[in-house]
Structure 1
């Protein structure tokens, strides 16, 4: 029987469960300071900027907020942020500028602060003197702006300081094309040269330490890419590594980067001799064990003996969890190895600078814990206990969440929760991620989540088998998992199944109702995708290939929302619950 429950005031979808918790942590290159954002409490979204002095353990509020984002010099002795278009720094307070400020960043030495304007100009402030570095106002050309394509590759920046602060590497965007240029602070500049016709996508840029800048570029098909070293004097580039995949190249966040010994670290995949791994290579040599699925490279941590270690976030068998690992950069006779630094089940993160490592919120210098950054976040409203399992011959990660106090033997309608859909993990060991789903469960549903093929965290082949057939693979996996779960959870009533998702998850919900109305009674979609040709090409082509070569594939993935799908653009949970309750009665 379905019951009505009050929806909690806080929603994980808006991130409010984390109000009051430290986030956006940065560690200075010398390990002397840790900067972070934190609001004054669980009901206050306005984050303040704080700095921890690692040597003394003292916490100092730098700016009372609201601070949405900040950037710092290499040692974090100078921090900069923008508020309502005004520039602020930790050393000079409010700084007068010629234009409203976006994306301010001090140079590594803290002598200059660069920023981007609303009309796409790049400016630099030095001792109160605000100079135009590059810009073409009114032309539709932007400088230093990431651009819409960058977001599809996780790149949120459009300009980078040189390690010595003498010049800036900046993206120039004109329409759908973009280029890269080295600008010195005195008006001189050189173009960065690579075959932009063949490799139009600039995926990532890394420029730290004494070496050259490293950039990753991809072909339009995303099946081949290059890691290039940029000569800062001439703008000429040299190939350091090639990236290739018959489906699509998936660069590892945090790469490429130069290791302390000069080798270049790149992410890649190992798919031979029985291996199926997402791993790291240094100048072509494998440095991570094949059993470690690398999610992100955090940084390098020096060690008194044995050489520096690479700190990475990854998974070593259980895809619902994320742990932090220390990887040897100097390979000995034993080959690649990784040491897990976190033990408790969960989704662990890290930050590194100098000899300081921050694990979740615990600051560690050497072998000693300095302190744990205090959190002012409220306790979560629910204590969900999803039952996790790997089901079907594909070992699909799945979870079932019952109502609180559920009595075995009571049949329950099923809500298949898709979230953002394929490409986003739903089955995760994180209580905050289950708060919305527990609310639905307590309304009288058995809430089911399945990470179908196409979801990261398991293996590259698991993730990429959906190429040009995402609709068929994802829908088949959801259906097969539902049937497999009834063997473990006989209270699941598959004669009353609803489906719910947003974005690409909303598309899959519409697809389920259209193609399998015998199983799915109704659904809810927030901002569903209905036409893949309306998506950014870089995103759509990653899964379906180019439309010119695969028009039939695009037609196969299009869907018209049926009458049994409720479109919920404003996220009205009361209306969603009423609709699903009525249809599943």
Structure 2
């Protein structure tokens, strides 16, 4: 059946963003200012742009909402944003010659670059002159715009300023991707690497010295970290990345450290180790027990690197300071957060922001907030189940009486590759809504999910459907020992995207356990997905046609509700009826 529903009742309450709470936090490189977005309160969904002056604690509203995104100079003295195609800039009014998208001041604050709807790259100089830096309108060639494959690697940018603001490194996308160094006076240098062998541009960073870039083969099993000579465009290999399944670069890398070494993410998979770590010119910086998720940056005045990661329970994320100085004692990491939870950080100069609290040395100052309390106070029961120690969680209705057996809703979220079992109350709001509607909600991070070990994440290579579905089933049976109120005769599955695909497979391939399902905007045919995404899991389509066929999800006659966007009321009626 096909039902179109378009009214998610819990919008703005089921993720990290909450109305009235600070988000999109940026710390200036000198630590003097912290910029952030925040709506006026729970009833105002239009986020405004604010700046905190760290030394005085003064908070200034820079712009009323809605400000969807912004960028700043290195010290955040100049901020820029776009609204309805018009350029807005703190402290001045600038007229752009074309509709503006993604404006970004140069690090010195003298010029502002932006892209246009016809995929050209323009710059407004200090004198207000708006010039076309690169563009081929009407040709289908895009300049300064992230190519479609970039999103599969977490990259949403297509151009980068040099540290001194004199040049821009820009992507040119014309079926294939190339990089070019453009100065503000018409000079042009091509960046040279083997683009045929390494077609995927994973990330680019230009914080100091020469730009750094990561490129991957189409198979994603081998990659290079390259340094670019800005004068000639020639590249030098700093590190090789290799994995028999796929290379998973660490967010925030590569990064040029103050002592000139290049920081890269990698994996230890020998001598009993199975860890995601950081290396500087080949030297291990992080202990194997720390699963590194993201590099935040350097903390000024120290030789410490700030990272986000996990050192035990995958449902938690903590912030760590990692020593970068070479010396005895081996790799060490100092945890900066002590409460169980899902913690985030941003850094600049000698200022560190952790969970919306600004820290400079021993002094702390919270970012202002006007967020209303979350509507629910969920208390999921966490466990590690089966011999594979799968992270799992069971969420009961508020006031549940033990002995009252209820239907089970297996919440798959966005599916494999996305953690569901995390200690973040905002992530459980919608699931508590479902629980209070009469279900026991179960979430399982099957193999293929990050946060445990690299091998746990990558064992699904070319067999994602079988592994993910087996883990869900095994976890359900294992949970009944401590949770006898799970009524396994009435189980429903629900997911979005890849999670919707898994919900469809569950109902179609194991109808003996899964009575019905809801698939929101589901993947049905992997051959229609971007190659960079599909081939990471299933390999090349030409060489593995049978694997793609095995992973297809047919609509059939199974009791499924297929929705393009998600609508809780309609879903509830459907699942309540099917699980009666």
TM-score past 0.5 threshold: yes
Residue pairs, 1:13-92, within 5 angstroms? 18-92=18-92
Residue pairs, 1:49-448, within 5 angstroms? 49-92=49-92, 94-126=93-125, 127-174=127-174, 176-209=175-208, 211-303=209-301, 307-369=302-364, 371-448=365-442
- Matched residue, 2:487: 493
What is the CA–CA distance in structure 1 between the aligned matches of 2:269 and 2:555, rounded to whole Å?
39
Answer yes or no: is the 8 Å Cα contact 2:9–2:568 preserved in 1: no
Q: Aligned-pair distance for 1:122? A: 0.6
Answer yes or no: is the 8 Å Cα contact 1:11–1:17 preserved in 2: no
Answer yes or no: is the 8 Å Cα contact 1:17–1:377 preserved in 2: no
Distance 1:122 1:179, change over 3 A: same
What is the CA–CA distance in structure 1 between the aligned matches of 2:48 and 2:129, rounded to whole Å?
27
Q: How far does the alpha carbon of each residue in 1:152-184 deviate from its partner, in whole angstroms, 9 at most, with x for none?
A: 10001000000111110000011x311000001
What is the CA–CA distance in structure 1 between the aligned matches of 2:9 and 2:326, rounded to whole Å?
52
Answer yes or no: is the 8 Å Cα contact 1:10–1:16 preserved in 2: no
Answer yes or no: is the 8 Å Cα contact 2:316–2:341 preserved in 1: yes
Provide the secondary structure at the position in 1 that maps to 2:153.
coil
Q: Aligned-pair distance for 1:15? A: 5.1
Distance 1:284 1:244, change over 3 A: same
Q: Aligned-pair distance for 1:95? A: 1.1
What is the CA–CA distance in structure 1 between the aligned matches of 2:163 and 2:119, rounded to whole Å?
24
Quick one: which of 502, 519, 534 aligns to 2:496?
502
Q: How far does the alpha carbon of each residue in 1:428-451 deviate from its partner, in whole angstroms, 9 at most, with x for none?
A: 101111111111111111110000
Q: Aligned-pair distance for 1:17? A: 6.3
Q: Aligned-pair distance for 1:10? A: 3.6
What is the CA–CA distance in structure 2 between the aligned matches of 1:576 and 1:363, rounded to whole Å?
42
What is the CA–CA distance in structure 1 between the aligned matches of 2:293 and 2:525, rounded to whole Å?
30
Distance 1:158 1:431, change over 3 A: same
2:531 equivalent to 1:537? yes
Q: Aligned-pair distance for 1:251? A: 0.3
Answer yes or no: is the 8 Å Cα contact 1:162–1:207 preserved in 2: yes
What is the CA–CA distance in structure 2 between the aligned matches of 1:380 and 1:386, rounded to whole Å?
15
What is the CA–CA distance in structure 2 between the aligned matches of 1:422 and 1:88, rounded to whole Å?
40
Structure 1 unaligned residues grouped into runs of 5+: 1-6
Structure 1 runs of 4+ with >6 Å offset = none
- Matched residue, 1:4: none
Q: Aligned-pair distance for 1:64? A: 1.1
Q: Aligned-pair distance for 1:579? A: 1.0
What is the CA–CA distance in structure 2 between the aligned matches of 1:79 and 1:327, rounded to whole Å?
31
Q: Aligned-pair distance for 1:9? A: 5.0
What is the CA–CA distance in structure 1 between the aligned matches of 2:199 and 2:549, rounded to whole Å?
26
Q: Aligned-pair distance for 1:534? A: 0.5
Answer yes or no: is the 8 Å Cα contact 1:17–1:380 preserved in 2: no
Distance 1:90 1:75, change over 3 A: same
What is the CA–CA distance in structure 2 between the aligned matches of 1:328 and 1:216, rounded to whole Å?
24
What is the CA–CA distance in structure 2 between the aligned matches of 1:418 and 1:8, rounded to whole Å?
17
What is the CA–CA distance in structure 2 between the aligned matches of 1:572 and 1:165, rounded to whole Å?
47
Answer yes or no: is the 8 Å Cα contact 2:67–2:83 preserved in 1: yes
What is the CA–CA distance in structure 1 between the aligned matches of 2:313 and 2:16, rounded to whole Å?
28
Q: Aligned-pair distance for 1:8? A: 9.6
- Asked which structure has the greater RCO (Cα within 8 Å, sep 6+), the reply is 2
TM-score normalised per structure 1: 0.96
Answer yes or no: is the 8 Å Cα contact 2:300–2:348 preserved in 1: no
Answer yes or no: is the 8 Å Cα contact 1:527–1:569 preserved in 2: yes
Provide the secondary structure at the position in 1 that maps to 2:419.
coil
Answer yes or no: is the 8 Å Cα contact 1:16–1:42 preserved in 2: no
Provide the secondary structure at the position in 2 that maps to 1:18.
coil
Answer yes or no: is the 8 Å Cα contact 1:289–1:336 preserved in 2: yes
What is the CA–CA distance in structure 2 between the aligned matches of 1:35 and 1:553, rounded to whole Å?
47
Provide the secondary structure at the position in 2 that maps to 1:332.
coil
Provide the secondary structure at the position in 1 that maps to 2:163.
coil
Q: Aligned-pair distance for 1:147? A: 1.6
Q: How far does the alpha carbon of each residue in 1:283-324 deviate from its partner, in whole angstroms, 9 at most, with x for none?
A: 001000000000000000134xxx510000000101001000
- Matched residue, 2:4: none
Q: How far does the alpha carbon of each residue in 1:334-381 deviate from its partner, in whole angstroms, 9 at most, with x for none?
A: 010000000111110101111111111111112221x10121111111
What is the CA–CA distance in structure 1 between the aligned matches of 2:188 and 2:73, rounded to whole Å?
23
Answer yes or no: is the 8 Å Cα contact 2:203–2:215 preserved in 1: yes
What is the CA–CA distance in structure 1 between the aligned matches of 2:418 and 2:299, rounded to whole Å?
30
